[in-house]
Amino acid sequence: MNKYGTILVVDDNPSILTAMRYLLDSLFERILTMNRPDDILKTMAQEEIDIVLLDMNFSLGVNSGQEGLFWLRAICKQHPQTPVVLLTAYADVSLAVKGLKSGAADFITKPWDNDELIRKLKDVLEMKNEIVSLDEIEKDHIRRTIDHCHGNLSQAAELLGITRQTLYNKIRSLAPGPSPRGEGSR
């Protein structure tokens, strides 16, 4: 079985970190753990992290989840391509929903079911690999339209519902390199 890259698990409970190391060892090449969130961004700047499993509460006696939401937003801002899965107590499902609205890819409740946790992490990672940027979709659509029109930019622009000049500008901005055919001819 091919392993996924690196997971960063952040939880203040050492027992949970140990359990995660054992559970995820067969799924990931590397498992980084930390019991305080203060170094998350520093670690993510130094390491290639494929997914983060983030607890919602870190201060003793505080169960509001605000710390987890803060770190979730910070990760999403600095590393928007890295999915974050929240780890939360069963009673905090409404908090997990807030997390989803703030950019979390999914959430797992404590105590967790091992098979469900692994399935969710796999699903998130596979979905991450399927996401294509709007620029890529636009570039592919323009390329296919031009191919369909056998390189005729005027016809391709008409099919795309844009002017020939707009098409030319999009081609230039999306694909640096040689100019498309028909440059300078009107």
Torsion angle, alpha carbons of 71, 76, 78, 82, to 10 = 110
Residue carrying structure tokens 């390189």: 151
pLDDT band of residue 141 (cuts 50, 70, 90) is confident
Residue 115 tokens, joined: 């098979």
Order of strands, sheet of 51-55, starting from the edge strand that comes earlier in the sequence: 28-34, 4-10, 51-55, 84-89, 106-110
Reported as a pLDDT band with limits 50, 70 and 90, residue 179 is very low
| pLDDT given at position 175 | 56
Stretch (H or E) spanning 120? helix 114-130
pLDDT digits (tens, 9 = 90+) for 25-78: 999 999 999 999 999 999 999 999 999 999 988 876 666 778 889 999 999 999
For residue 114, the model assigns a pLDDT of 96
Judge whether residue 186 has pLDDT over 90: no
Say yes or no to pLDDT of 153 above 60: yes
